[in-house]
Structure 1
Amino acid sequence: MYYYLIIALQAYCIYHLFKNRNPYYWVFVILFLPLIGCVIYLITQVYNKRDANKIQENIVSIINPAKKIKDLEKKLQFSETYQNRVNLADAYLENKDYKNAIPHYLDALNDNLQNDLYASKQLIECYFYVEDFNEVILYAEKIKDSSEFLKSKSQFFYGLALEKLGQLDEAETNLKQIDIRYSFYDERFILAKFLLNRNKTEEAKTILDDIYMESQNMTKQNQRIYRTTIVEVEKLKNSL
């Protein structure tokens, strides 16, 4: 088994060498020093400084999101491109700073050379969380004919905004689009509670049963991510 692993590792290193046109002498290092040669090659040629810097940037952005925002602000000041503006807005949104994200998405929409679908979808989310439901509906209705809007979180936010404004039938129509098996667990739990509030108990129970059944087949990672939701689903399910 050990022998075949070494062969596979050598094959990968040689493939990477030729693909990236690295110096030919590495072939001899890989072939005549099988394990050591492969390890040296992987460290020096595959796991390079650029990879290390990228990993470091990701770690820093998680630990200190303010630094990521400051860096993106500097990039935007240096070059006011559509992408730099959207990247900064996305960072604000990721940091739940919706009020600062909104102006940048609005500015991005003014760039007539770009597709405004992405910025519009991000605005829908931001406006929902600042509880400006009229703006949610405004931007949702501009893109609701797009295939990317159908069965998306944007449509779900649209449905919730309609609910907040008392348009319950239309809200239900849009919220139900998110009821897709093995996905959108949090949103489907909200949908179930919405249906219960409308005295549609059987429909709600079906959704809760589906989520609970699906939870039994989740990966361990998803079980960790959705642990709270699954617990709440089970509680509500057992109370009906």
Structure 2
Amino acid sequence: MSVALVLSILLQTICVVHVLRTGRPYWWVWVIIFGSFVGVAVYALTQMLPDLQNDPRARQAAKGIAKTINPERDLRRLREELARADTVQNRMRLGAEFLELDEPAEAEAVFRECLRGMHAEDPDILLALAQAQFAQDKAQDTHDTLNHLIRANPDFKSPEGHLLYARTLQQLGRDQEALAEYEVLSDSYPGEEARVRKAELLRQLGMEGDARTVLETVLSRSKLAPAFYRKAQREWIHRAKQLLKD
């Protein structure tokens, strides 16, 4: 059997399955089967491609593939946008891209440039700056930035910022303070990361029984949670399982 024939059968099968799963008219099956590569191409372009364009998960996957192939494509585009319009929004997007590319020093410099005028104490910018500092293991700088954020914006609420504060305290060796923050986060953070990090700290402090209780709670919660939650929290659920095995 030739490679072309095998490929044709594979592509036809994929398209026929798509027809049946999405409720397309059955005459598409005949177009696909008798049209071979041409039929597959017509169906893919007119039926499958629009579906993919309207599917957020497909768009995200495509974006991830594009970034893997050309990781600095978005960075170049964002630099060009900043050159055309030097706005805080464009700088924030550029800084976020530097963070995603694991270049936190560049991100920190960009975020600092945003802290001017009416944005000098903007909580979102200060939080982004703290994240860039933490990514460079600048625990004290991160702590100072977060304290500045809290003083300047006492009503600002951010689960990610709160978790970063707890992690910063832990990195500074202020374990009991970090544990108190993790305790609060256990009931308020939208996900399992805070609970797993709390369990890891409890274990470091020799509180094995308490750590195990927290990890078992993570697993029991995940069993009762809907599939989308388990998928989103897969990393932390897996980590909890591994910690229980150790």
How does the TM-score come out when normalised to structure 1?
0.67
* TM-superposed deviation, 1:135: 0.8
Structure 1 stretch displaced more, 200-209 or 91-100: 200-209
Say whether 1:106 aligns with 2:121. no
Match of 1:227 in 2: 234
Is the CA contact (8 Å cut-off) linking 1:75 and 1:84 kept in structure 2? yes
Say whether 1:95 aligns with 2:95. no
Match of 2:72 in 1: 66
Provide Cα deviations, 1:61-89, integer angstroms capped at 9, x if missing partner. Answer: 75134111111101111111111111111
Match of 2:206 in 1: 199
| Uncovered stretches (5+) of structure 2, i.e. residues with no partner | 1-45
Q: 1:94 to 1:186 in 2, by over 3 A?
A: same
Q: How does 1:1-240 map to 2 (within 5 A)?
A: 59-60=62-63, 63-64=66-67, 65-113=71-119, 116-144=122-150, 146-149=154-157, 152-180=159-187, 183-237=190-244
Q: Which amino acid aligns with 2:99?
A: L
Structure 1 stretch displaced more, 197-206 or 62-71: 197-206
Q: Which amino acid aligns with 1:231?
A: H
Is the CA contact (8 Å cut-off) linking 1:124 and 1:140 kept in structure 2? yes
Q: 1:102 to 1:181 in 2, by over 3 A?
A: closer
User: Between Structure 1 and Structure 2, how many residues are aligned?
Assistant: 189
Identity of aligned residues (%): 17
Aligned alpha-carbon RMSD (Å): 3.1
Is the CA contact (8 Å cut-off) linking 1:69 and 1:92 kept in structure 2? yes
How does the TM-score come out when normalised to structure 2?
0.65
| Uncovered stretches (5+) of structure 1, i.e. residues with no partner | 1-42
